[in-house]
Structure 1
Amino acid sequence: MRAPAARRCVAVLGGSFDPVHTGHVLLAEHFVQLLQPDELRVIPAGNPWQKHGLQATPADRVEMVRRAFDGQRVPVYIDEQEIRRTSATYTIDTLRALRAELGAEVSIVFLMGADQLLHLDTWQHWQELFDYAHLCAASRPGFDLEEAHVPPAVMEQFTRRGGNPQEIRSTAHGYGYLASGLAVDISSTEIRAQLQRGTRPDSLIPAGVLDYIEQQHLYRNQ
């Protein structure tokens, strides 16, 4: 009897990337190693409703993302759909668009840090996200994934929908997964402050991204 065909898996990482930093890269690499996806889809935000005043232009943020994720173990595709969107950016709209593009059978895995998980219940139609993708969160220092710290409704969803990497890899959507051990705590706000002061945050930004920031004189006069 023939074994079933392997299901394609696409890991999705969204963010303002203003600027992209080492934490973003390590988060992606953590789940690439865990899930072995066929593609990493990186989506720079256009007009995120919970953040205001992005400092770098969309073109600059796309170029920083390209440099940051160059050389990954899986193919990387920079998806500009949110940048092209003229209305406010909501993750639910992005995942709906991805599902329509990729089809019903592909495993779509939306990646987030634990800081995002703590505010997940404020996102537009957040419970519907599971209808289009799996949601995977990784912990970082200062963000406890225990029930006392995660909103009860979010913890209930992740507990009820808890899956392992194999289940996530072999189904299209619907699972939640909480990964621990990603010891990264980097703030884009602090990075911008250091750059404005003329300090080089070498350990916080991939070298190619820092070179681009300096070449383009980004974050100097904000």
Structure 2
Amino acid sequence: MKKIGLMGGTFDPIHYGHLVLAEQIRTQFGLDMVYFIPVGIPPHKQDKNISSSKDRYFMTLLATITNPNFEVSKIEIEDNNISYTVNTIKKFKEKIDCDAELYFITGADAIYELETWKNVKELLTLCKFIAASRPGIDERKLRQKIMELNEKYNSHILVTAVPALAISSTDIRNRIRFGKSIKYILPESVEYYIYKNKLYI
């Protein structure tokens, strides 16, 4: 059975932290492919300014193009509605081999908010979740929460630890605004795109 990872995010901009996370999970869980899904209209960030979907799509494409196991999907940015994960997964299932096993990749922090997501009970029947832990997360508390969710929803939420990369999209945007270097914290092609298109200034 084909195993496909789905990694959603604003990717504003995408950086090495995203790429390291995706590659580690791909190899650890034996995924055939990881699809990066730039969010269209994020339900939790509607009051915040984010870059255009075109810019975020092209930056994600540039960052992943050298990895044959990475793809970028327009499934959310081509939709004019709020991007709910449950809808994205259902649409994705329609587009790919129906026998493929889907794994939604997310940060450990999101697990604590999972029950606030739209139609969470249905969502957890559509795919497995992989929660990426990080330094500073209470692993015992996280595993307890995952066990509770798995029992409550008969779900398959897995957890893995990822390397500590102190990189965030917010920090990158702030560095650009204050004229600081962003070299070596994101792919050079993405850095070039940002400066060429005068993003985050």
Q: Residues 103 and 54 of structure 1: is their aligned pair in 2 closer, same or farther, counting only changes over 3 Å?
A: farther
Question: How do 1:158-173 residues align onto structure 2 when only pairs under 5 Å count?
Answer: 158=150
Deviations 1:93-124 (A, max 9, x none): 00111122224311111111112223222211
Deviations 1:67-98 (A, max 9, x none): 11122252x22111111111111001001111
- d(CA) in 2 for partners of 1:151 and 1:202? 39
1:197 match: 178
1:105 match: 99
2:149 match: 157
**Of 183, 189, 198, which aligns to 1:208?**
189
2:161 match: 180
**Of 46, 50, 64, which aligns to 1:69?**
64
- The aligned amino acid for 1:14 is G
Shift of 1:193: 0.9
Matched, 1:45 2:39: yes
TM-score (norm 2): 0.89
- d(CA) in 2 for partners of 1:183 and 1:161? 31
Check whether the contact 1:139–1:183 (CA below 8 A) recurs between aligned residues.
no
TM-score (norm 1): 0.81
SS of residue paired to 1:31: helix
Check whether the contact 2:41–2:83 (CA below 8 A) recurs between aligned residues.
yes
Number of residue pairs matched by the alignment = 200
Q: Residues 158 and 185 of structure 1: is their aligned pair in 2 closer, same or farther, counting only changes over 3 Å?
A: farther
Unmatched runs of 5 consecutive residues or more in structure 2: none
Check whether the contact 2:86–2:123 (CA below 8 A) recurs between aligned residues.
yes
SS of residue paired to 2:181: coil
Check whether the contact 1:139–1:182 (CA below 8 A) recurs between aligned residues.
no
Matched, 1:94 2:75: no
- The aligned amino acid for 2:33 is E
Q: Residues 84 and 181 of structure 1: is their aligned pair in 2 closer, same or farther, counting only changes over 3 Å?
A: closer
- d(CA) in 2 for partners of 1:95 and 1:28? 18
Check whether the contact 1:117–1:150 (CA below 8 A) recurs between aligned residues.
no
1:34 match: 28
Greater CA deviation, 62-71 or 47-56?
A: 47-56
SS of residue paired to 1:217: coil
Deviations 1:33-87 (A, max 9, x none): 112322221110000110133432111111110111122252x221111111111
Unmatched runs of 5 consecutive residues or more in structure 1: 1-6, 163-173
- Structure 1 residue runs of 4 or more that deviate by more than 3 Å after TM superposition: 149-152, 158-162
2:79 match: 85
Q: Residues 179 and 198 of structure 1: is their aligned pair in 2 closer, same or farther, counting only changes over 3 Å?
A: same
State the identity as a percent: 29
Shift of 1:215: 1.3
RMSD: 2.2
